[in-house]
Amino acid sequence: MTIKQEINQNAFGNDKNRLMDILLSINETQGYISRKNMLDLSQKLGISMAQVQETVSFYHFFSSKPRGKYNIYLDNSITAVMNGRAEVKEAFEQCCETSFGNVSRDGLFGLFNTSCIGMNDQEPAAIINNKIFTHLTPYRVKHLVEDMRAGKTTDELMYENFGDGNNADPDVKSMVSNHIRKKSIILKKDYIPFTFLTTKLKEYTPGDIVAEIEASNLRGRGGAGFPTGMKWRFGRRTEGKHRVIICNADEGEPGTFKDRVLLTEYADLVFEGMVVAAYATGSDIGLLYLRYEYRYLLKFLNRKLTEMRKNHFLGQNIGGVQGFNFDIRIQSGAGAYVCGEESALIESLEGKRGEPRDKPPFPVEKGYLGYPTIVNNVETLATAVKILHHGAEWYAGFGTKDSLGTKLLSISGDCRFPGIYEVEWGTTIREIIAMSGAENVQAIQVGGPSGMMIGMKDAGNMDNSELMKWYKPSGMMIAEKFFDRKLSYSDLPTGGSIIIFNNHRDLLGEVVMNFMDFFIEESCGSCSTCRNMPIIMKNKLRKILDGHGIRKDIYDLLNWGKVLKASRCGLGQTAGNPVLSSIFHFRHLYEQRIQSLTQFDSGFNLDEATKETKKYVHRKPVFHHFKTSETWKDQ
Ligand code: SF4
């Protein structure tokens, strides 16, 4: 271990719970984490080599092998694909003289695919050595690679072509654009951050704060919609030496990027929300879990925390309230979608693999390091401050009866104005289409890949009533017939991801296949259902798309989707939704591809399947593609 790495490690006090930070530090200074590093760490931190290895191997952005001097992680989300990712990928491969998944022979470039990096409004995009590069084209790639060969730094690669607002801040220097298209009560800059903290906090007891948030009916904005006031009340009443507030800034659902913008332009509001939540729940430890993809904001966010400490918004006796002591630390992730699940996030915060825990106990009872822990979404915390400043009654003037207030939407895909829209709950899909400048819309994915699809016409000749008994989606891909439906907890609940597909898109071959790849890549592998079933479902869909499917295959897919619901966490439980929702609402696309039952082609090629064996026994191919008149009776 080098002196520099020793320093990195010592900066975290040889604390095994800071393993993520130590590994991030080594990964960044050295480019990878060697076996020797892992052995040294296991000895110094008092944990087994296996424990270190399992953390290193879990996260996308850690590597146990040397990578390139420049490591290029190209986003493979559906919006990247729709905006020319294939050409950009090819350009990188040609210019860097290596293929994706590999490092060039001269060690200069590492090319890697990665899941959604939260840039769906400016795709294709890539992370190059922790910096974001957006709107990539083959031309831009050629010049980027030339500049990298000339030894330029990532800042120099951007030619000071920084984005708007705080993206141009000296501590950010990012070419990301905010694309804020519509502001309402949260995004309007009509509030001076920390006003509530400095002027009103001491007038409230913690119970008053909880009561006000409960009166507002604020629900978690990450997607699950759990009542925020209730969560704060539960957290407060659990005894513990410490209590913990966590801000979950690990938005990873493809199509979601609202938290990126909140952290860039409204970080003070989010941090004030954490302080207020800490006061309400009696917490003294604050953690913001920042997804690795937003690590380019880390220095800027840490500066904000330093300013807060100077202004006594963190530390001792905050807001003039004797005994209210609280501080916030930012923990970087290292690339894992499943860490958006609150118990997986807590595991990661403790330096482990981000595998969801069995529940109960819930985090409010036993969370980070065993302390009662309240996990809130970025948008939820920012909204709480505005509610407390203006009052629950004011908040009730926005939205619908069952869904009060506003929602931040991340809109991307086939539309003229992708970006962030703050809309009142109750907004219809038709209004979203109009405001985003979308035309010839075939379908809308609400709630990301884990959402669901509703049919545009009657769903083929299938009776869907059986499916309806158990399939209760949280989001959906919806089509024209349903464009008058409203965003709300009782109609279309959503965490905010909206992806629009026009009439030219291949919903099954392009979109659903991409979504299935995402779930296959992101499963933590703990449950056999989630580890295996998405692969099996994808293969079955491939068979149908290749023209070898029969109606029974569709029923198989439906049944397998049901099996997935037995998975431990939301990732596995929703991993079949791309297939299920497309069957449910675009059934005709499946029907068009399945075979006439009198001429059933199983797609099984015996020659191909026995090719290897024949090579060894020197037998020539004698069989032809297997066809049969076997019929599957329609169910
Ligand atoms: Fe892991 Fe999937 Fe099981 Fe969740 S459902 S715990 S992601 S294997």
Query: Is the C-beta atom of 336 inside 6 A of ligand 1?
Result: no
CA distance 140 to 121: 18
DSSP strands (E only) in 472-527: 476-478, 497-502
Query: Is the C-beta atom of 565 inside 6 A of ligand 1?
Result: no
Query: Is the C-beta atom of 523 inside 6 A of ligand 1?
Result: yes
Which among 347, 516, 568, 577 is the best mutation to test ligand 1's pocket, defined by most ligand atoms within 8 Å of the CB? 568
Token couple for 121: 């409004």
* Within-domain flag for 380: yes
Is 370 in the same domain as 250?
yes
Is 112 in the same domain as 147?
yes
Encode pLDDT of 315-333 as tens digits: 999 999 999 999 999 999 9
User: How far apart, in Å, do the first and last CA atoms of the chain sit?
Assistant: 65
C-alpha 169 to ligand 1 mean position (Å): 38
C-alpha 523 to ligand 1 mean position (Å): 6
Encode pLDDT of 406-436 as tens digits: 999 999 999 999 999 999 999 998 899 999 9
Give the model's confidence band at 478: pLDDT under 50 very low, under 70 low, under 90 confident, else very high: low
Query: Where are the alpha helices (H) located in 11-137, listed in sequence order?
Result: 19-30, 35-45, 49-58, 78-82, 85-96
Q: What is the DSSP string of 604-630?
A: --HHHHTHHHHHHHT--------EE--
Query: Is the C-beta atom of 531 inside 6 A of ligand 1?
Result: yes
Nearest protein CA to atom 5 of ligand 1, as residue: 572
CA distance 259 to 242: 27
Encode pLDDT of 576-586 as tens digits: 999 998 988 88
Residue 588 DSSP SS3: helix
C-alpha 369 to ligand 1 mean position (Å): 22
* Within-domain flag for 381: yes
Which among 565, 571, 577 is the best mutation to test ligand 1's pocket, defined by most ligand atoms within 8 Å of the CB? 571
Token couple for 276: 């207020």
Task: Report pLDDT for 610.
Answer: 79
CATH, residue 520 = 3.10.20.600
Token couple for 43: 């000895």
Last-in-domain residue among 58, 78, 103: 58
Domain containing residue 95: 70-160
Task: Report pLDDT for 599.
Answer: 59
pLDDT over threshold 60, residue 463: no
Q: Are strands 126-128 and 600-601 parallel, antiparallel or unpaired?
A: unpaired
pLDDT over threshold 80, residue 176: yes
Is 453 in the same domain as 539?
yes
pTM for the whole structure: 0.90
Query: Is the C-beta atom of 576 inside 6 A of ligand 1?
Result: no
Give the model's confidence band at 484: pLDDT under 50 very low, under 70 low, under 90 confident, else very high: confident
pLDDT over threshold 60, residue 232: yes
Task: Report pLDDT for 26.
Answer: 95
pLDDT over threshold 50, residue 291: yes
Mean pLDDT of 442-462: 67
CATH, residue 90 = 3.40.30.10
Is 438 within 8 Å of 500 (Cβ atoms)? yes
* Within-domain flag for 170: no
Last-in-domain residue among 367, 395, 423: 395
Mean pLDDT of 224-247: 94
Is 207 in the same domain as 329?
yes
- Residue 114: enclosing H or E segment and its boundaries? strand 109-114
Encode pLDDT of 143-166 as tens digits: 999 999 999 999 999 988 899 999
Residue 176 to residues 80, 173, 182, Cα–Cα distance (Å): 15, 9, 18
Instruction: Return the percent helix, strand and coil in the chain, to nearest 5.
Output: 45, 15, 40
Task: Report pLDDT for 3.
Answer: 42
Is 49 within 8 Å of 17 (Cβ atoms)? no
Token couple for 71: 């490591």
Task: Report pLDDT for 456.
Answer: 43
Query: Is the C-beta atom of 574 inside 6 A of ligand 1?
Result: no
Of residues 582 and 270, the one with the higher pLDDT is 270
* Within-domain flag for 173: no
* Within-domain flag for 167: no
Task: Report pLDDT for 602.
Answer: 65
Is 428 in the same domain as 509?
yes
Query: Is the C-beta atom of 81 inside 6 A of ligand 1?
Result: no
Residue 544 DSSP SS3: helix
* Within-domain flag for 570: yes
Query: Is the C-beta atom of 525 inside 6 A of ligand 1?
Result: yes
Is 17 in the same domain as 41?
yes
pLDDT over threshold 80, residue 603: no
Residue 173 to residues 164, 260, 600, Cα–Cα distance (Å): 10, 15, 59
Which among 524, 574, 577 is the best mutation to test ligand 1's pocket, defined by most ligand atoms within 8 Å of the CB? 524
Mean pLDDT of 108-128: 97
Give the model's confidence band at 634: pLDDT under 50 very low, under 70 low, under 90 confident, else very high: very low
Q: State the SS3 of 332-396.
A: ECCCCHHHHCHHHHHHHHCCCCCCCCCCCCCCCCCCHHHCCEEEEEHHHHHHHHHHHHHCHHHHC
Is 238 within 8 Å of 502 (Cβ atoms)? no
Of all residues in the chain, what percent carry a pLDDT higher than 90?
A: 77
Is 317 in the same domain as 354?
yes
Residue 477 to residues 65, 244, 449, 483, 511, Cα–Cα distance (Å): 40, 37, 9, 11, 11
Is 46 in the same domain as 93?
no
Mean pLDDT of 612-618: 79
Is 603 within 8 Å of 543 (Cβ atoms)? yes
Query: Is the C-beta atom of 338 inside 6 A of ligand 1?
Result: yes
Task: Report pLDDT for 279.
Answer: 98
Last-in-domain residue among 128, 160, 192: 160
Report which ligand 1 atom has the smallest distance to the Cα of 567. Answer: 5
Nearest protein CA to atom 1 of ligand 1, as residue: 524
Is 103 within 8 Å of 68 (Cβ atoms)? yes
CA distance 462 to 458: 9
Residue 258 to residues 207, 221, 270, Cα–Cα distance (Å): 30, 11, 13
Q: How many domains does the chain have?
A: 5
Is 89 in the same domain as 212?
no
pLDDT over threshold 60, residue 627: no
Of residues 623 and 91, the one with the higher pLDDT is 91
Is 575 in the same domain as 502?
yes
* Within-domain flag for 121: yes
CATH, residue 268 = 3.40.50.11540
Is 283 in the same domain as 151?
no
C-alpha 344 to ligand 1 mean position (Å): 10
Task: Report pLDDT for 494.
Answer: 85
Query: Is the C-beta atom of 568 inside 6 A of ligand 1?
Result: yes
Enumerate the β-bridge partners of residue 332: 290
* Within-domain flag for 599: no
Is 245 in the same domain as 328?
yes
Give the model's confidence band at 224: pLDDT under 50 very low, under 70 low, under 90 confident, else very high: confident
pLDDT over threshold 50, residue 626: no
